[in-house]
């Protein structure tokens, strides 16, 4: 005689309640199954380390510029600065109020001409000072000190660097270098010609601020 199993069709008893239908067990398993929102988020991949900036080339490995190329860059800068500055000054002179006055020739003779009024002279002087500050601080100070060269030098394929690191010289040294050019030019431009027999091609103002003009 076969023993009767009351739980054979229901899958077994549950403590205190008797057999649980299979449909309820299936629903319970579905509720207990983790959803995609319950799963732990995939940790983000670590960012690749940034490539280190390329160091400036050592000053000893750079080729210094020759006298002819530096002279060509100087002429280009003179044209780039001189032509617009002269045009602006001529325009200002034309639009400023004038009055009748007396002008003097080189031989000492005088003639009647139009001269600037006192107020116009003040405006002209202020404009001239602003133009000079722009040339000194922006054209030479910023472009040569922080960008490595003026437009004339860039066209000629040159740049100004520090003698120790090969990097840019900074705005302060660039302005000092500009003012020291008058010292190099004072004794019949001897400070400029010094670069012809200097091992690093340096002028006097280059040596004072510890700079070099090299090929870009």
Structure pTM? 0.64
CA 182 to chain centre: 28
108 in the Ramachandran plot: left (φ > 0), alpha (ψ -120 to 50) or beta? Answer: left
pLDDT of residue 28: 65
Would you state the structure tokens that stand for residue 197, as one six-digit string?
């027999």
The DSSP output letter for 150 is: -
- Per the CB < 8 A criterion, the answer to whether 144 and 172 are in contact is no
Question: Can you tell me which residue has the tokens 């004339």?
Answer: 152
pLDDT for position 138: 92
pLDDT of residue 65: 93
Q: What are the residue boundaries of the structural domains of the chain, listed by start?
A: 60-85+131-215
Maximum CA pair distance of the chain?
153
The answer to whether the CB of 162 falls within 8 A of the CB of 148 is no
Residue-by-residue pLDDT tens, the chain, 216 positions: 555 555 454 445 545 555 555 666 666 666 666 555 555 556 667 666 665 555 555 556 788 999 999 999 999 999 999 999 989 988 988 888 888 888 888 888 888 888 888 888 888 888 888 988 898 899 999 999 999 999 999 999 999 999 999 999 999 999 999 999 999 998 899 999 999 999 999 999 999 999 999 998
Q: How many residues does the chain have?
A: 216
* pLDDT given for residue 50 in this prediction: 62
How far is it, in rounded angstroms, from Cα 122 to Cα 144?
31
118-133 vs 67-95: helix axis angle to the nearest 10? 150
Q: Rounded to whole angstroms, how far apart are CA atoms 60 and 165?
A: 9
Dihedral pair phi/psi, residue 42, rounded to 5°: -70, 125
Going by C-alpha positions, the residue among 71, 80, 211 that lies closest to residue 151 is 80
């Amino acid at each position: 005689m076969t023993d009767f199993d009351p739980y054979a069709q229901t899958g077994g008893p549950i403590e205190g309640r008797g057999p649980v239908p299979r449909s309820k067990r299936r629903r319970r398993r579905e509720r207990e199954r983790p959803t995609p929102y319950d799963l732990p988020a995939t940790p983000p991949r670590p960012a690749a380390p940034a490539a280190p900036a390329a160091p400036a080339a050592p000053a000893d490995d750079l080729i210094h510029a020759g006298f002819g190329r530096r002279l060509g860059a100087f002429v280009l800068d003179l044209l780039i600065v001189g032509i617009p500055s002269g045009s602006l000054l001529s325009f200002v002179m034309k639009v400023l109020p004038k009055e009748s006055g007396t002008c003097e020739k080189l031989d000492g003779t005088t003639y009647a001409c139009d001269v600037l009024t006192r107020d116009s002279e003040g405006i002209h002087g202020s404009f001239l000072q602003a133009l000079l500050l722009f040339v000194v601080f922006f054209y030479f100070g910023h472009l040569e000190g922080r960008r490595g060269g003026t437009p004339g030098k860039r066209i000629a394929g040159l740049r100004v660097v520090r003698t120790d690191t090969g990097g840019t010289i900074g705005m302060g040294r660039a302005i000092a270098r500009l003012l020291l050019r008058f010292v190099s030019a004072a004794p019949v431009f001897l400070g400029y010609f010094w670069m012809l027999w200097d091992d690093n091609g340096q002028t006097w103002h280059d040596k004072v601020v510890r700079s070099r003009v090299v090929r870009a």
